[in-house]
Chain A
Amino acid sequence: MSIPLAHIAHWYHVLLYLAPILVIGAGLWWSARREAKRERAASARPSVSDER
């Protein structure tokens, strides 16, 4: 099945409406992953009382 590139003008604008969702979704996913990583690092770090 070939991609209907000849009719791109009829459907490419759909991608323009989809793009903000994808961009924000990617941003939120990255942010959530970074937060989770930071929390894991914080819980793995020994507390002051443990060191004593």
Chain B
Amino acid sequence: MSRVLKPSLFALGLALAAPATASAHGIGQRADLPIPLWLVAWAAAFVLVASFVALSVLWPRPVLAQAKSRLIGRLPLALELLAGAAGVFAFGVIVYAGLAGSQTATANIAPTAIFVLVWIGIPFLSVVFGDVFAVISPWRAVGRGVGWAAAKLGGGLPAPIAYPQRLGRWPAALMILGFAWIELAWSGREEPSSLVIVALVYAAVMLIGMSCFGAETWCRNADGFGVAFGLFALLAPLEWQDRRCRLRVPLVGAVKMEQLAGSAAVVCVMIGSTSFDGFSQGTVWTGASGLAQRLTNLFSSLGFAEGAAVEVAYSVGLLLVVGLVAGLYRLAVVGMNRTGSGKPAVGKLARSFAHTLIPIAMAYVVAHYFSLLVFQGQGIVFLISDPLGDGSDIFGTSGSGIDYSVLSANAIWYAQVAALVIGHVAALMLAHDKALVTWESPRVAIRSQYWMLLVMVAFTCLGLWFLSAAAS
């Protein structure tokens, strides 16, 4: 035993005593951190273990499913219509700007609006105010408008085709993966016209899908943006249903997530794509002999053109990281299944625990994109005055710039770490409560969560390592 223990302790002591080479690669270069990031990973792991023990002792019965909500108001129909019209108008402006405006990505409003305001801004709004995208979604507004007009003018539309239940949310997962590929791997993303053509194709697919399967059914299952933002909205303290607004305890909405096929895939793609975005900015990926270069060389040697080889390398990286996240979740589910004597089945467990990943997905969004939203989001102030990048000054704000002093590097770092820790503790709470519902014996329920705890610790350490890689 001591043959193993002594060298291990020596190695650990050496690592702890070593000057912070790790911090040279970590976020420490940008922020004046009190401790290196790997030590934060240890502290975060300790917080998760302590939370797990506290939950086991202090939370003996499931409570989240019974949590009450309170009606606090009603959204006027006119406001809903106005929001839908605003969504359609904004989509039109973005498409027009992309096609007719400057093809410099930073001068045109389209890339900033799509990648920053919509993709990052709406999750932040959703987690506070609820499902805002459902109200402003341009395709949903058009689909519902067409349905309403058809009902008024010609006796309604033909009955929609029944949506195949086994498809579940898999189409949404594929849509999000496609969007992540555009954002992270596609070379055409820098060109606003190419970007908005893809947006138009997406809108066309949405409209066709809605006309076949019905607006609500299609948006709930196959609209990647609608599904993703809707999942984040489940964490919000506000719940919207039929224009009625109810106040609830934050997080409890996640318990009500529909257990559809592909729900776990949606969240795994969201976590995996965000993780790859962080990882692909670090030297492990981008360095002179980094993974990207090696993969590009490999695909070049297989006969791919230079640009295509880079795209394929990034696509492989994206798929590998999404696969890693999905694999970790699968590991937790299989572990739970084995601890629970094979019941419920793995597939059912994967669906019923998928909601526990939503806080992690949000934590990853905050950790990776918080600073981008704060800084690049300011760009909208001058872009809204000059959306085409042709020198116009519609609102008199085209001369404004980005104020990088609005947040210090340390403040960003604290927000990132806090988001990761809070997100994972929230995920543990959801999983613990669900386990108490799933297994009759609290003892079995707690033991089943050993696997979930381990995977949460893995996600936390992975997230912090990706942050460190992004900053290196």
Contacts and interface: CB of A to CB of B under 8 A. Distances in A.
A21 B21 contact: no
A39 to B, nearest CB: 9
Contacts of B450: 28, 31-32
Given A13-B468, A16-B38, A21 B15 contact: no
The 8 lowest CB-CB distance pairs between A and B, nearest first, are A13-B22, A20-B45, A16-B38, A17-B465, A28-B450, A17-B461, A9-B21, A21-B458
B421 interface: no
* Most chain A beta-carbon neighbours within 10 Å: one of B46, B339, B454: B454
A44 interface: no
B338 to A, nearest CB: 10
B38 A24 contact: no
Interface residues on A, range: 10 to 19
A19 B42 contact: yes
Contact of A16 (B22, B49, B462): B22
Interface in B295-315: none
A17 B461 CA distance: 6
A21 B461 contact: yes
The SS class assigned to the B binding surface is: helix
Contacts of A24: 45, 49, 453-454, 457
A20 B41 contact: yes
B15 A15 contact: yes
B77 to A, nearest CB: 52
Nearest to B449: A28
B454 A17 contact: no
Interface string A4-24: 000001101111111111011
Contacts of A16: 15, 22, 38, 41-42
Given A18-B461, A21-B458, A28 B38 contact: no
Given A20-B45, A21-B461, A35-B447, A28 B453 contact: yes
A38 to B, nearest CB: 11
A40 to B, nearest CB: 14
Interface of A: 9-10, 12-21, 23-25, 28, 31-32, 35
A17 to B, nearest CB: 4
The SS class assigned to the A binding surface is: helix
Interface string B13-45: 001000001100110000000000010011001
A20 B47 CA distance: 12
Contact of A13 (B21, B42, B339, B454): B21
Contact of A14 (B45, B453, B454, B465): B465
Contacts of A23: 45
B464 interface: yes
A12 B45 contact: no
Contacts of B454: 21, 24-25, 28
Given A17-B41, A35-B447, A12 B15 contact: yes
Interface in B438-456: 447, 450-451, 453-454
A17 B454 CA distance: 13
Contact of B21 (A12, A19, A20, A28): A12
B351 to A, nearest CB: 24
Given A13-B38, A31-B450, A20 B465 contact: no
A44 B454 CA distance: 31
Contacts of A17: 38, 41, 461-462, 464-465, 468
Given A13-B25, A28-B454, A20 B461 contact: yes
Given A17-B464, A18-B461, A20-B457, 16 more contacts: A9-B21, A13-B21, A14-B465, A15-B15, A16-B41, A16-B42, A17-B465, A19-B42, A20-B42, A21-B45, A21-B461, A23-B45, A24-B49, A24-B454, A32-B447, A35-B447
